[in-house]
Structure 1
Amino acid sequence: MKLIIPMAGRGTRLRPHTHVTPKPLLPVLGITIVERIVRTFVNLVPHKITDAVFVLGDFPAEVQEKLTEMCTKMGIDSEFGFQKEALGTAHAVYCAAEHLDGELIVIFADTLFYTHEPLNTEADIVAYVKQVTDPRRFGVVARDEEGRVTELIEKPNHDRFKEALIGIYYIKNGAQFRDTIAHMMENKLVGTRGEYEVTDALDMMMKAGAALETASVTDWLDCGTLSALAETTQFILDREGNQLFGDLINTTIIEPVYVGPGVTIRDSVIGPYTSIESGAEVNGSVVKHSIIFSNAEVADVVMDRSFIGHSAVIKQSAFSANIGDHTVIEYLTKPSTGVHKPPTGATS
């Protein structure tokens, strides 16, 4: 069984943090978004995942190296396709055409989820869904009066059907799926957005006799915007709890907090709902409801609901901000922040 993971998008809604790092490689509590997705399916499916096929955009070679390393760690072979222009979800999948055979799981890598339902690999197609109040922003599953799936509808103008498609599909016959997309592209069968859509390809397969079932998820976590990433981080902190791997010196932790390996924190108050990624350093600061990415340096700062990019340096300030990778911000005159260093011994 293969995982097909299109991830060629530039992640513009997460900028400036995706100028250097592709969105699926952003970490959530020390584990990248894409690795969390792959781990989910390694643990969920009854058959062994043999290959993970990543469809990439114009990314540096380092991205392939990181993905290969991730797969090797889980005993999976890594393969790559490349999408040079964005022509839709089906087009993105077809950029890995040479790998589209046998059993497939197609995953669009900006969504994390949890489910209690086992995957039914006897089905022709399984679409993962989540009940929503307002389905008009999503693709949805339409059913007849007997509950059978009849079609997939992109962004309906009514709220009759409330099972939203979360962008994850099991497909038993990968070759049929590949050939269906090829037929769409050869005949320019685009959807309402003028693009080649996976949902349209699956509709065509159903019309050709394939049966589609659904699997429900209990939680559907978006990582596509900064606010969504913050909410997802908070949700997973609640679920996984405190994780403290770094060095905490004269520091107070207000749970839940993630502190990654190689992090050093001195004379600070951290939390709640804060994630500090590997190699970062925090001194004399108060940090809450924030994400500090790897190797950043924060000193004499009070921050709330902020994002500090990889290798950014922030000193002497009080703010709520979104600071990109490799940024340096220093104040020549230290502002009055009202920060009081915790008393000696107030560590946890």
Structure 2
Amino acid sequence: MNIIIPMAGRGSRLRPHTLTVPKPLVPVGGKPIVERLAEDIVAMSTEKVNEIAFVIGDFGEETETQLLAIAERLGAKGHICHQHEPLGTAHAILCGKQCLNGPVVVAFADTLFRADFTIDPNADGVLFVNQVENPSAFGVVVTDANGTIEDYVEKPAEFVSDLAMIGIYAFRDGNRLHFELQRLIDENIIKGGEYQLPDALRHMTQNGLRFEPGNVTEWMDCGNKAATVDTNQRILALTASELHTPSDAVIENSVVLPPCYIGSGVHIRNSVVGPHVSLGERTIVENSRIENSLIQTDSVIQNKVLSNSMVGAHARIIGQPADISLGDYNEIQ
């Protein structure tokens, strides 16, 4: 089995955190989003993963080396593929065409999930979906009476289904998917300046291929700051038994409320940290209270109360201790 991970987007909704780091490499729970995604697919799959194609923009040599190392750690051969123009989801997948053979999983790199990866032997693939309250904000699938997908609707103005596609797809025949994606390019089937995967899926369905919706037990989005903070919370809860404080971390006169990820070389002094906090390597926290937040590597937090926050690498937040004389019935906000 092969995996294609399109991740060439700019990550605009997650700025400023994506100004210096591509969004899929932003750590959540102490590990880059794309690494968690690839690990989860490998762990959930019943087949060995042979190759992983990372479809990226111009992210630089350091990023490319990091991605190839992720594939190697998972026992797969990594490929770096470039999408130089934002020409849509179908075009992005086609950029990883060297992996479009045999069984293939396509996983867009702003989603983490938990699901059963078993494919019905009578089906041609599985499109993983999640039931949502606001389907007009998503691309959805429409199923027939037998639960087989019969149509794909992008952001329906009127209700047709509440099964939102989450950006994870498993195909039995990567070669057929390759053919259908190339057909969109050759026949210039384009919408809004982009070649879209649902157009290929619709044509495959109309020609007799059978796709089923796959249910996920967890769907975690990393599209913006609030969603990423929430995903960090859920990842820490799911992996709580795997979290351990490294031997070189220094915790002085402080309390760490689990679950928390504490990176190597972290210093915590006179503080309360947690629950649901990730502290990147070598970060320093002093005289502070932090909960439900992500702090990346080599940052300093002093004299602050942080909640539901996301702080980048090499950042400094220095508050000032207050010496206050406050009378009765006064209020400071």
Residue 258 (structure 2) pairs with residue 272 (structure 1): no
* 8 A contact 1:302–1:337 mirrored in 2: no
Q: 2:285 aligns with which of 282, 291, 295?
A: 282
Per the TM alignment, residue 52 of structure 1 is displaced from its structure 2 partner at its CA by 0.6
**2: CA distance, partners of 1:133 / 1:205:** 28
Instruction: Check 1:161–1:38 CA distance in 2 against 1; reply closer, same or farther (3 A cut).
Output: same
Aligned partner of 1:251 in structure 2 is 254
Q: Indicate the residue corresponding to 1:220 in structure 2.
A: 219
What displacement does 1:299 show?
A: 2.5
The answer to whether the aligner puts 1:140 opposite 2:126 as a matched pair is no
- Are 1:164 and 2:150 counterparts? no
Match of residue 336, structure 1, among 322, 327, 331: 322
Which amino acid in the other structure matches residue 11 of structure 1?
Answer: G
C-alpha deviations, 1:238-265, integer Å up to 9, x for none?
3233643332121112333221222121
1:324 alignment counterpart: none
Q: How far does the alpha carbon of each residue in 1:119-172 deviate from its partner, in whole angstroms, 9 at most, with x for none?
A: 446531211111122211111111223433211111112223121111111112
Equivalence for 2:99:
99
Q: 1:296 and 1:4, CA in 2 relative to 1: closer, same or farther beyond 3 A?
A: same
* Structure 2 residue 198 is matched with structure 1 residue 199: yes
Residue 183 (structure 1) aligns with: 183
- SS of equivalent to 1:244: coil
Q: Are the equivalent residues in 1 in contact too, given 2:279–2:294 (CA < 8 A)?
A: yes
Q: CA deviation at 1:190?
A: 1.5
Give the letter for the 1:253 counterpart: V
> How far, CA to CA, are the matches of 1:70 and 1:302 in structure 2?
35
Opposite residue 206 of structure 1, the aligned amino acid is T
The count of corresponding residues between Structure 1 and Structure 2 is 320
* Counterpart Cα distance in 2 of 1:197 and 1:251: 51
- 1:315-326 alignment, distance < 5 Å: 315=318, 317=319
Deviation at 1:116, TM superposition (A): 4.1
Q: Partners of 1:28 and 1:196 in 2: how far apart?
A: 31
Aligned to 1:56: 56
Residue 21 (structure 1) shift: 0.9
Identical counterparts, % of pairs: 37
Summarize deviations over 1:8-46 as a string: whole Å, max 9, x none. 011111111111111111111112111111111111111
- 1:303 maps to what in 2? 306
**Letter of the aligned partner of 2:290 in structure 1?**
V
Paired position in structure 2 for 1:326: none
Paired residues of 2:229 and 2:309 also in contact (CA < 8 A): no
Aligned mates of 2:149, 2:285 — CA distance in 1? 53
Unmatched 5+ stretches in structure 1:
318-333, 339-348
Give the 3-state SS of the residue equivalent to 1:118 in structure 2.
coil
For 1:167 and 1:265, how far apart are their aligned partners in 2?
38
Change (3 A) 1:101 1:116: closer
Greater shift, 30-39 or 247-256, is seen at: 247-256
Check conservation: 1:4, 1:107, Cα contact below 8 A.
yes
- Counterpart contact for 1:29–1:260, Cα < 8 Å: no
Structure 1 contact 134–159 (Cα < 8 Å) conserved: no
Structural mapping, 1:220-239, within 5 Å: 220-239=219-238
Letter in 1 for 2:296: F
Matched, 1:291 2:298: no
SS in 1 for 2:98: helix
- In structure 2, distance between residues paired with 1:270 and 1:57: 36
> Aligned partners of 1:298 and 1:163: how far apart in 2?
42
Which moves more between the two structures, 27-36 or 249-258? 249-258
- What is the CA–CA distance in structure 2 between the aligned matches of 1:30 and 1:121, rounded to whole Å? 37
CA 1:115–1:130 in 2, change beyond 3 Å: closer, same or farther? same
Alignment partners' CA distance in 2, 1:288 and 1:296: 16
Note the residue ranges of structure 2 that are not aligned, 5 or more in a row.
Answer: 325-333
Summarize the alignment of residues 110-149 of structure 1 with structure 2, pairs less than 5 Å apart. Answer: 110-116=110-116, 118-120=118-120, 123-149=123-149
Aligned equivalents of 1:303, 1:220: Cα separation in 2:
26
Q: Which amino acid aligns with 1:244?
A: T
Give 1:301's aligned amino acid: K
TM-score, normalisation: structure 2 = 0.90
The answer to whether structure 1 residue 66 and structure 2 residue 66 are counterparts is yes
Q: Distance in 1 between matches of 2:160 and 2:180?
A: 28
Q: Match of 1:22?
A: 22
Rounded to whole Å, the distance in 2 between the matches of 1:131 and 1:289 is: 26
Contact conserved, 1:45 with 1:119, CA < 8 A, in 2? Answer: no
C-alpha distance after superposition, 1:216-245 (max 9, x if no partner) = 001211101000001111122232336433
TM-score, L = length of structure 1: 0.87
> Do the aligned partners of residues 310 and 141 (structure 1) sit closer, same or farther apart at CA in structure 2, a change above 3 Å counting?
same
C-alpha distance in 2 between matches for 1:47 and 1:147: 25
Shift of residue 117 of structure 1?
A: 5.6
- 1:98, CA displacement in angstroms? 3.2
Partners of 2:78 and 2:70 in 1: how far apart? 9
